[in-house]
Each structure stands twice: as structure tokens, then as C-alpha cells.
Structure 1
């Protein structure tokens, strides 16, 4: 093969430019050898169960892969980790962009590790609808938490998934639990309208708000207000304290308009500052109260069982969709049908029916 057509290594330097003296050639060789070496499924499983962060990250990358060849290996890892999962508290954290989710999570996460907790943060970054890329910058925003040995931060791209969570977040939770993390924080992209997905995979759902900019009125949306277990007004510091407390009162009134929850829990409102740390310990106390009440009335376990059923159906839907679009025959039919639709030769609805009939015919 012509070398010009090959993609250079990420450690490759341009011709004529020598690497800086601080780069060890031996270190470069070791990194390249490590990248080439593939971990066996059993090595991955053993590493995850031993709490090895590198193997945990490799396992998450494996389950996030869209390569059909990786599916069997990913399922084997997940099945082996399942008996060691379900031993954590799962907390979903959402809010509009700019509300300070990453800063809050760092302050909250540091508080939890200070209490002896092992915290995994699954931070989901929005994907571009044009380039489909994602910055994945949450690690850089959580400078202190990332250095904490009892914390693990995994940024993922939301892709085309609605609900503000990545496609494989549910399985990633399971792997983190198997690796020994007892508190899972899931940060959503803050889409505002479609938070059903994150609500269906957590025990406690926390909505972050800020005062001002019409946020009090914008936040009072029936869908999300019915899902939340707590509303926290962030950035309650400096000149913003009075406004934050006023916003807290407004949300308290709004919550009284909604029917009682099946969990028996009455949603709370509070204020906090991720800078001064005021109100951060009280938020964890609220979550502990929620867990105690819902485990006491068995709602906690009933919800977990219902979530498992929900994700069974979601996984079936996802696999059917993947199988459909990866089918070579369907890819050919779909391409020609798209052109017919674009040229107004057939309606989109009739075209869809035609493609589906072809798909079911191929299954026989």
C-alpha cells in the first residue's frame, strides 16, 4: 500500500520537525505497543471488577462502539459485571446550559469523596448536528475532581440520542458500579424538554436552576417539574443571594400545583453556591432522606425493576434500528428511494412503506 494513503499515528511528527527533548522515545514506543495490544474479554472483566480505571475506560469504549464485531465481546463483559452492579445511588443532574452543572458537580463530587464515597461522573456533551463532533470538555472543567483518586469522570457524546444522555449511558452505569463506584452522577446536556431518558435510569432526579433571565417562569414546565425530586437554585452567592432566595420561593409554590408522587416523596427546593460551597452538604442529606424513604416503602426497588423493563424494550428498538440500517440490501433500496422522494416521484410515507416491505421480505 502507498504510504501516502496511510493515516499517520497520533504520535507522528511532521518530516523535518524533531520532537521536543522532553518527549522520551522509549515512552513513545511503550505507548504505541500498549495501543496495539488488545485486552482479552476476561482481562477486561477482571480489570473492571478489580477497580482498574484503565480497564474500566476500555470497557466503556467497547460498549460504546458501533462496530458489529464488538457487540458479542461487549455483551460478555456486561453479563459478567451484572452480578456486581446495582449497588450504587444513581443521581441525574440537569439544567439549562450556563446553569453551572459542571461546577456544581465538581463541588458536590468533592463533598462526596470527602465523605468516603467513590464517585463516577458520566458527563454527556452535546453533539453537533452538522459535524456530529463533540468537545468532551468536562474533564477540563472539573480540574480538582479529576485528580481525586476516588472519582472517575467519563465524558461521552450525546450523538443523535434524545433526552440528553449518551446512547450507552445505561450500560456505563453498570460497569462503574461493578468497578466499585457507589455514587453515580449523570450530567445531561440540558436539553430542557426531553429528559425522559435520564429520568428512566436514575434513582434521584435533580434540576439545577439559576435566578434571573426569566428562568423562574421558563423552568415551570409541567413535564420536567413532574419528574424532579429536588430543585436547586445554583449560584446563590454575592449579589445574587436575594434573587436566588426569591426564585426558591417561586419554585416552592409551583411544586404545590402538581399531584403527589407515587414514591411518597415531596420534592424539595434549596439554594447553593458551587463557589462558597454553601448548601452543598444539605443537598446530599436530602438525597439520603429520599433513599431512606423510598427504600422503606419499596418504591426504590420497584422503580429499578420498571427501569430494567424499559431498557429491555429500548435495547430491542435500538438493535432493530441498527440491523435495519446496516442491512446491505436495505442500504441499496433506501438510496434509490431517497432520490425518488427528493424528485417528488413518491411520497415519503409510501416510500417508507416500500422500504419496510423490502426489509420484511428479506427476513423470510
Structure 2
């Protein structure tokens, strides 16, 4: 047993994660989220040891505009999957509040059923830092969840900024939730979100919203036909569902399963995973460079001065970047 006050050994972390202990998994994730150099080295050892036990989960990204009902839909979908014998992990990619540094999503009570179910694990992203850093930690958390035996990992994004692309780049199937009333939403919809979508689902297809949801689904189908197929082996389906009642979620999950099956048959699944692995490596390298800039004493003094010169228009941004790169040893001085 690992006592609450004791620092678990690496072997204890590996054993606890492999045994599916949620408390140990949470401690392992805290370790990989740490910025301390000693913790980072230990986290890398942990991830390397667990790597052979990863890669077997269905990785599904889920996004949608605020108010679309992501949390309710994920909670209901997760409960449905648990009934089918699955173990479900939910991760949230959440760029922190620029004003407070706190988590925008944070509160696990939004997923009342999953947060108390032993067969589920809900984890918000770390607070503070750039989206790239958050996404890198989420990728590592995803691997830990897979090593712990979770065979479905749902990665939620707030649906703003670049978080959709980050989630699409770490999952096998990308689901976009939409609101009924497509006419209004299509006006402000970013074309890029639909281009990323493997599946589109109009949520809140219940009660008075059912007719509007079906009409919205028809409009989204028309919009997707104009965009054309994203992959040669798959045409993005548009469904109507209710995260509140669960109606349509069985059909939605069947589409997720079918997408991954066809991707495997076409060879795209393995190619996507390989590309993601390389992308993760470069994201971590980028983070290390940024960390070096933040922590190196000489750079700490010099970067603000260079930034001030660029802001004042006295130094071209390219030359400013070159000076910082030279201090890092990436360019000749």
C-alpha cells in the first residue's frame, strides 16, 4: 500500500497504474504534470516503462461551442459505455483562464455519474501554461490511462481557439457536437471545425428541440457535402442525439466504432497514430525550449529587453527571434 504522506517509488507507481488503482493513476498524472526537472526525469522513466501497455484504447476527441451540452453528453455516453463493459477515462484539454490562471472546465461534478463510478476516471487538464503545454500533458495522461486499463479515452475541449486542432491531433476519431438551430450557428461557424470532424452530432434532440435538431442535421449534411469527404474511406455522418435522455448515443457510438474499423482497413489508423507520435515528440521539444527560456538566468534578463525592442518597433520580430535562438545556441552569435 502507498501511504498518503509517502512518495511512492517508481515501481509502486508502475504497479499501481497497471493494477488500475485510480488514486495511484492520479498521482502518476500529477508527476507528469510537474515542471520540476527531477520530476520530469522520473516521469519520463515512468512513461517509458508503461509504454508497452499503451495504444490499445479507442481515443475519441469531443468538441462543441459553449452551451452545446458536452459534459452532459459525455457523462451519459460514458455511462452507456460502462454498461457495455468498457472502462472510460475523460480528459479535458483546457487552456487556462488568461485572467486568473485557473481552469475553465475544472469541476468534475459536471459529470455526476462518471466522477463516482469506479470504472471511470475524470481528469481536467493542468491549470496555467500555453495550450501546447496543456496538450503535451494531456497526451501523457492519455498514455497513463491506457496503461491503467481504460479502453475508451474521451478527450474534451472547450471548443475555442486552437484547442480543437490539438485534440484532433491526439485522437483517432474527432466528434463535433452542434446545437439545434443550424441557420444561426452556421453563420458564425468556423469552417475549420467541420473540416476536422469525423462525426457531427446535433445535441439536445429531445422534447421541443427534436424537430429543430433534425432540421439542423439536414443543414449540416448539406454544408459537409459542399466541403467534400475528409478521407477517401469515410464520409462524415451527421446525427441527432440527446445527451440528456441518451437517445441516439448508441447510434453515435456505432459510428465511432465504424470509423475506426474503416480507418484500420484503409491503413489510415496506423498512419495517424505514427504521425501523432512524431507530433507529440516535437510538441515536447518545443515546450523544453520554452522552459529553457523561462528558467535560464541570462535569458530571463535578456528576453524581456528584446521583447520590449520588438514591441517598440525598434527591432524586427525575425531579428529578435534570431537573437534569442543565438543565446540558446541554435544560431551562430
- 1:218 maps onto 2:188 in alignment: yes
Task: Give the match for residue 56 of structure 1.
Answer: 25
Q: Conserved in 1, the CA contact under 8 Å of 2:229 and 2:236? A: no
Q: Is the 8 A contact 2:106 2:124 kept in 1?
A: yes
Per-residue deviation, residues 289-309 of structure 1 (Å, max 9, x unmatched): 112211122211111111112
1:99-128, Cα deviation, whole Å (9 max, x unpaired): 111000000000000000000000234411
Are residue 42 (structure 1) and residue 11 (structure 2) matched?
A: yes
What are the superposed Cα offsets for residues 142-163 of structure 1, whole Å, 9 maximum, x if unpaired?
1112121211101124644348
CA 263–86 in structure 1, closer or farther in 2 if over 3 Å, else same: farther
Matches within 5 A, 1:1-364: 34-134=3-103, 136-157=105-126, 159-162=128-131, 166-191=135-160, 194-212=163-181, 214-219=184-189, 221-262=190-231, 264-338=233-307, 350-360=319-329
From the superposition, tell whether residues 343 and 95 of structure 1 become closer, same or farther in structure 2 (CA, over 3 Å): closer
In the TM superposition, what whole-angstrom CA distance separates every residue of 1:45-99 from its partner, at most 9, and x where no partner exists?
1111111111111111111111122111000000011000000100000001111
Q: Counterparts of 1:67 and 1:177 in 2: how far apart (Å)?
A: 24
Secondary structure at 2:328's aligned position in 1?
Answer: helix
The whole-number CA distance in structure 2 between the counterparts of 1:152 and 1:264 is 33
Q: Residues 65 and 107 from structure 1, CA distance in 2 versus in 1: closer, same or farther, beyond 3 angstroms?
A: same
Determine the structure 2 residue equivalent to 1:26: none
Larger Rg: 1
What is the CA-CA distance between 1:237 and the residue it aligns to? 1.3
Q: Which residue does the alignment assign to 1:17?
A: none
Contact 2:115–2:122, Cα closer than 8 Å, also in 1: yes
Q: Deviations over 1:5-54 (max 9, x none)?
A: xxxxxxxxxxxxxxxxxxxxxxxxxxxx9443111111111111111111
Q: Which residue of 2 aligns with 1:29?
A: none
**TM-score when scaled to structure 2?**
0.91
Q: Per the alignment, in what secondary structure is the counterpart of residue 227 of structure 2?
A: coil
Report the Cα offset of residue 281 of structure 1: 0.8
Q: Which has the higher contact order (CA 8 A, sep 6+)?
A: 2
Distance 1:120 1:84, change over 3 A: same
Structure 1 unaligned runs (5+)? 1-32
**Unaligned 5+ runs, structure 2:** none
- Residues 95 and 131, structure 2, Cα contact 8 Å, conserved in 1: no
The answer to whether the Cα contact below 8 Å between 2:132 and 2:283 also exists between their aligned partners in 1 is: no
TM-score normalized by the length of structure 1:
0.84
Q: CA deviation at 1:353?
A: 3.6
